[in-house]
Structure 1
């Protein structure tokens, strides 16, 4: 159980790391250690924000349970679940808030499209002394309000429908205030689905939700270092999964800054092909293969409907909305602009070919099959990759400067051709595996010759002279483009670790001053890149160093076990959208590799035979 920590705000804002995540496969919410709801969009991940006080403490709306004179608190999950517990202590007493988005009894999270109930349920109990508890709900943009008995009904303009707030304890004034003594309990329920019914037994509803989560998490592998943290990462990834169709959003939030006061503030509530592919790969490695099939179907439908692969879609598989700037909100700790929508959906990024084909490969390696239509769609993407790799694009980091021939993009086209050839041979599927193999080998040779900088002693970001260092190239061994112990990969890993070092085991993904990206300004250290470094050390046989680095990176997780996109290396504060799927993917991947190495096993035996 986590330790008690003082409640401290920075420029009036609760720090990002002082939040946990709950969700139901349709949407999710950040819940603060102070009882606030820092970010909530309904009815879906990518809907307008109902409340987002993390983006403006005054104009971002509120859904708070407050404790008078609260001094310290702690936060943790019910083990094996997405149910969050927050305990808040004042001089007079201690209360416990149990937060959940209830799931339907008997739901199977790997295949149930409608497990959620459109409800946020908060159970409150005074566990010691007494407390004065305040209840406040103010949707962003305001709302008309009606009271009917114990119900508060609101029609919120940003939501476009009726919200219903119910409480088991009468609130004679609004916002509500109630005085409670030790042993007193009540619940608060916010519902947004039409026809939603109040919980007759809130404790039973939470208990059923716990059972549903544990049926799913019981399939997670056990023999990994930091097992509890690995399982928490898997549950976090599932909380970012849109159960209805298999889409997986990159993060739970929008516009949280990559540097305080900077302008790198993007909307991540959409499904990036790359991020989702990494996610299903991570889930498969720890015992959950079903998510790969759902994502593969979703992404191929999205590609077909959009007339070709795009890097990011909304969760319906349409192009993400065009970026807009919200002038009403000041941004987290006054870091503006606040953006909604994401223009990356209109960028060209050739790595998507490899992401999709590798996901198909992983799916097949664990027993998945392809009908004729599915294979033809994959084959069409393979043929496109044969020429796409030579053309400039905007790369994995989605630069907003002119397109360039990024090495990572070329490498992922190599992955597309390699996986298609192996699938065709292994499953006797129609195609030209010999030509695909030859093209894949040619791309690999070109990477080794054209991306290599003999002065830097590293592979660089571009398939041309003059490129800067790019930590994404540490992912090449993970995708089996090059082995981690290849001399040029060993040298690249060493140079990246030295020159992109942010301290404390963290790495910058690149240096904007040396690799201009069209955005400007500095950013934090990118969490995923540190885990990629761990994976390379394992592949080089440097297990003790990898384990030590892995331990340092795990230390950055907040008490509930969540990780952001980036970290301020000078303070350890969280930066960027939170929690970030790719950071948890990296933690899972490194834990699996270290666990296998400790047992003397190959890094990835479950698909090893497919590479012979």
Structure 2
């Protein structure tokens, strides 16, 4: 990671997306800017209303500002092997260090699906040099009134007046303050919410920060990976964990809503929910690096959610229920005026048949690793396998969630193949009842259909639809899901065609081209980072290891100085686009690293 000093710069009044770090406690997460301001925090949980949302409206979004009056440069880094963030600010008058922690309970075990957060943000300030002027401002989105004083006050937030919200600081009287600090001085700002938030002196701040560090380091002690970019893989594991809603085991796709896929564009979505696909891939990635306890929680969460609703959905809220209806919020201008800002996500009502394969494959991998599948769990999995047998021929909205009528997406059919093939394996290997022979036969039918019906001889590639169409980078996943071998001639040709026709430059790929694959949405988008990791996987499996390593290293080089990745990259500038940080991108970094390390070991044995 890069701990060098960097000038604080804004574009259109906003910090670049990449100039932010993330802290979290398993209930929610906050973005901390390189200027020391918290510009995003939802309380009490990830998908609640944002208390601070200045990243979506610098004037009206609300923020928790903590900065030097004359700050000109900063640097950020995490305390080793933790989710505790350091921001150092420097100006002509001096230098300060801010330590931000969403604190965890004493003895918290982050490998368990149990709430661990204290509903508390601690901001520690240390004056390292000089006698700087420090400015503090707490401005809830929508406004707030102050009750009390003397270093402790209640904030009555206009948008959630019944939420217990308290601020503790001997340095502040009210919600805004500016004062001269002295070299060597240290103080704390503490924001609490929820039950018991009015308690004062519930624990020494230094002790609470240390307990939080210990919890993170206990969890990461299970990390097991030796391969390329080890520090970034480790940081990716922690980042995914920062997106884990511990009370249920659900994982949000990203911490934010409505960060644009192109500045000024309208492709702005709320990602603060748990997609079955994203969560399953996160679980699989973490298992591959030693974090093995996440699968059981995911299976319980997703199967309970399906049982409530009667069918597998694309995404759920953090308690396995349907998210609120998608709506546009005209009160916020959007990041760099990229309207609209949206809350909720209409994809919840779509049909995306790949969810069958994601769930069944996760269960299969878990069982292979020693997880127990009893008869009740099997009956629920059995129903999903049968669902895949019927679903693959039915049009859906696909992995990219097009907002048009359904189409026969090749990727969706491929993941139904995964459900059937893994279901047959579990029935055979574990001795459970099921039509294993019929499932295998149907899986082979799907595989043959993909090879014949999705193949375009003119493009020399498998295409987005059964029956033909344009190119789609999601088909790069087929070898990793064991639908086709990476060295199958049609897969090799598809890899080349995707790399050529979806090329965004410098190793980046578009996931598809909206002008030739209409998705019902206006405008264009950036390069989708995960797709390039999939390309690296294919190169590695085709024996092109040097190319795969070079691409992987270039993609890792796009992480910000904290090791965080977005959903998309602007090919022209390299700037981050889309919601941030994005679990999918960190899954790609981990999974590609694991594959490359395995291929390297195999090469050394020859």
Same fold by TM-score, threshold 0.5 exceeded?
A: yes
1:333 maps to which residue?
336
Q: CA RMSD in A?
A: 1.3
How far apart are the structure 2 equivalents of 1:550 and 1:207?
35
How far apart are the structure 2 equivalents of 1:112 and 1:456?
47
2:223 to 220, 223, 236: 220
1:381 to 373, 380, 384: 384
1:609 maps to which residue?
none
Q: Is the 1:199–1:205 contact (alpha carbons within 8 Å) kept by the matching residues of 2?
A: no
Is the partner of 2:164 in helix, strand or coil?
strand
Q: Deviations over 1:369-411 (max 9, x none)?
A: 1111111000001001101000100000000011100000000
Aligned-residue offset at 1:179 = 1.4
Q: Is the 1:49–1:158 contact (alpha carbons within 8 Å) kept by the matching residues of 2?
A: no
1:293 pairs with 2:291: no
2:577 maps to which residue?
575
1:533-552 to 2 correspondences below 5 Å? 533-552=535-554
1:21 pairs with 2:35: no
Aligned-residue offset at 1:294 = 0.4
Distance 1:601 1:315, change over 3 A: farther
1:518 maps to which residue?
520
1:247 pairs with 2:250: yes
How far apart are the structure 2 equivalents of 1:512 and 1:84?
38
Q: Is the 1:407–1:460 contact (alpha carbons within 8 Å) kept by the matching residues of 2?
A: yes
Is the partner of 1:213 in helix, strand or coil?
helix
Q: Deviations over 1:553-611 (max 9, x none)?
A: 011100000000000010010000000000000000011111111111799xxxxxxxx
1:281 to 265, 280, 284: 284
Aligned-residue offset at 1:18 = 0.4
Aligned-residue offset at 1:173 = 5.9
Q: Is the 1:41–1:48 contact (alpha carbons within 8 Å) kept by the matching residues of 2?
A: yes
Q: Is the 2:139–2:175 contact (alpha carbons within 8 Å) kept by the matching residues of 1?
A: no
How far apart are the structure 1 equivalents of 2:455 and 2:191?
56
Q: Is the 2:131–2:180 contact (alpha carbons within 8 Å) kept by the matching residues of 1?
A: yes
2:505 to 500, 503, 506: 503
How far apart are the structure 1 equivalents of 2:171 and 2:516?
61
2:137 maps to which residue?
136
Aligned-residue offset at 1:141 = 1.1
1:610 maps to which residue?
none
**Please, what TM-score do these two structures have when normalized by structure 1?**
0.97
2:126 maps to which residue?
125
1:171 maps to which residue?
172
How far apart are the structure 1 equivalents of 2:386 and 2:175?
62
How far apart are the structure 2 equivalents of 1:473 and 1:221?
29
* Segment of structure 1 superposing worse, 158-167 or 17-26: 158-167
1:44 pairs with 2:61: no
2:111 maps to which residue?
110
How far apart are the structure 2 equivalents of 1:227 and 1:96?
27
How far apart are the structure 2 equivalents of 1:172 and 1:420?
62
1:590 maps to which residue?
592
How many pairs were matched up?
A: 601
Q: Is the 1:250–1:276 contact (alpha carbons within 8 Å) kept by the matching residues of 2?
A: yes
Is the partner of 2:232 in helix, strand or coil?
helix
1:554 maps to which residue?
556
Structure 1: which 5+ residue stretches go unaligned? 604-612
Q: Is the 1:36–1:62 contact (alpha carbons within 8 Å) kept by the matching residues of 2?
A: yes
How far apart are the structure 2 equivalents of 1:401 and 1:552?
35
Q: Is the 1:93–1:131 contact (alpha carbons within 8 Å) kept by the matching residues of 2?
A: yes
How far apart are the structure 1 equivalents of 2:172 and 2:166?
14
Is the partner of 1:13 in helix, strand or coil?
coil
1:302 to 293, 305, 312: 305
Q: Is the 1:171–1:178 contact (alpha carbons within 8 Å) kept by the matching residues of 2?
A: no
Aligned-residue offset at 1:143 = 1.5
Aligned-residue offset at 1:172 = 4.2
1:353 maps to which residue?
356
Distance 1:190 1:599, change over 3 A: same
1:93 maps to which residue?
94
How far apart are the structure 2 equivalents of 1:299 and 1:259?
32
1:424-439 to 2 correspondences below 5 Å? 424-439=427-442
Q: Is the 1:596–1:602 contact (alpha carbons within 8 Å) kept by the matching residues of 2?
A: no
Distance 1:112 1:437, change over 3 A: closer
How far apart are the structure 2 equivalents of 1:340 and 1:601?
49
Deviant stretches of 4+, over 4 Å: none
1:266 pairs with 2:269: yes
Q: Is the 2:144–2:157 contact (alpha carbons within 8 Å) kept by the matching residues of 1?
A: yes
1:3 maps to which residue?
4
Q: Deviations over 1:231-261 (max 9, x none)?
A: 1100000011110111010000001000001
Q: Is the 1:146–1:153 contact (alpha carbons within 8 Å) kept by the matching residues of 2?
A: yes
Aligned-residue offset at 1:174 = 4.3
2:374 maps to which residue?
371
Aligned-residue offset at 1:200 = 3.6
1:606 maps to which residue?
none
Is the partner of 1:418 in helix, strand or coil?
helix
Distance 1:136 1:545, change over 3 A: same
Aligned-residue offset at 1:228 = 0.8
Q: Is the 1:250–1:270 contact (alpha carbons within 8 Å) kept by the matching residues of 2?
A: yes
1:608 maps to which residue?
none
